[in-house]
Amino acid sequence: MPAATPDFRRWVIYEMFVRNHTSAGTLRAAAADLPRIRDIGVDAVWLMPVHPIGKRKRKGRCGSPYAVADYTAVHPELGTLDDLAAFVARAHELGLRVLLDVVFNHTSPDSILARSHPEWFHRDAKDRPASRHAAWSDVVDLRHPHDGLTEHLIAALRQWSNLGVDGFRCDVASLVPVEFWRQARAAVAAKRPDTVWLAESVHPAFVRAMRQQGHLAQADAELYSAFDLTYDYDIHHVWRECVLGRAALAEYEAALAHQAATLPADASKLRFVENHDQPRLAALVTQPGRRRCWTALAAFLPGAFLIYGGQEIGKPHLPSLFERDPIVWPDREPLMQACLTSLSRVKKDPATAGTFELVADTNHFLARWLGADGVLTGVFNVRGGRGGIEVPLPDGVHENLLGGEPLRVKSGHTFLRTTPVVVRTS
């Protein structure tokens, strides 16, 4: 079994979409890939929802896994409850935790709850179950708080916890009252106090829009009373503008500093360059070296680091949420997988328990972890510029912990193309 107390600063989470992870699209087939995922340096596998999907108002032929029809069952196309238990058991054998995606903001319009308890749902002007967000046309929103609803959802969490699931990634957590999440966490902790809680906190613009419509929408800082980790969406819009070359790198540096100053001192963020809702980084950045630099920066930052299944390939295609769209895995280990493996090792270096520093210039981010027994220095030429950058390292040739080109320092400066570099010094 995995260790009891995670250090999220050193965590790597792997997001898996079971339907599209393999050509078979089953839990059994996905379990066969767990040794490779472990070898990358992953600590936990997050399974996107594995539940039955509603048919009414379904998008695409298969439907979104986030249009859940039954919180207590496994989609028969993915396998059985026994298959999920076997997946969890195999992960535990390999030292991996398993996080299950739970969707407690909404269900499919034809879910078991929508049929049996229509009073648990938001209503539109014609008194019909409805979503508060027009774009989510394949779901209807649950109306919290309600004692019966709370009991039902907590019972589902206990079921999955008893099956061996180690934690929960909570979809659209910002729209569900934090009081519910605190109650749910306490109930699960009665038997599994080491359960991990990851919140999909939402973009600031979405928080504002929902509040303007009179709906509950909680900021990231409010969620930490119930969650161990929240999404990085609070500054994701700044990151994206920098990636696309429409904002100066100093704007992202400032956003990270503001984030660190306005969240609880011990707050942990989930860092990522892509996920199932965001484009592949390869669709935004065509140059492989620059992609590796942006990826290395994300992994080097304070907080847990997310790998979305298929990111290892470095291709631009994002699997469809609504169709069978399996990842086509190469026969050989791709370059990005080797990069991610090196980044996972660096993330677990003892220096990452120290103090973090970050500065940006026109083309580079210079980041450092100052630990008790050493310093990690990262140089990430995310823009691919030809100019050098001043580095706080002695002159000479330094080993690159990420492999490939070493860091050559002359007169306190280094000149790199687009190879991400991390150096350890004592």
So which residues are the catalytic ones? 171, 200
Task: Provide Rg for the chain, Cα atoms.
Answer: 22
Tokens of 80: 């059985």
Tell me how far the alpha carbon of residue 44 is from its chain's centroid: 11
Instruction: Return the closest-CA partner of residue 18 out of 93, 96, 98, 92.
Output: 98
Instruction: Return the closest-CA partner of residue 315 out of 362, 267, 271, 279.
Output: 279
Instruction: Return the closest-CA partner of residue 272 out of 315, 240, 319, 228.
Output: 240
Q: List strand residue ranges (DSSP E) for 158-299, in order.
A: 167-170, 196-199, 229-231, 268-271
Tokens of 40: 């990358």
CB 314 within 8 A of CB 283: no
> 27-36: long-range contacts at Cβ-Cβ below 8 A with a sequence spacing of 24 or more?
27/74, 27/78, 27/79, 27/83, 27/84, 27/86, 27/87, 28/79, 28/83, 28/86, 28/87, 30/87, 31/86, 31/87, 31/90, 31/91, 34/87, 34/90, 34/91, 34/94, 34/96, 35/94
CB 57 within 8 A of CB 27: no
CB 64 within 8 A of CB 12: no
CB 293 within 8 A of CB 420: yes
Distance in Å from the first CA to the final CA of the chain: 33
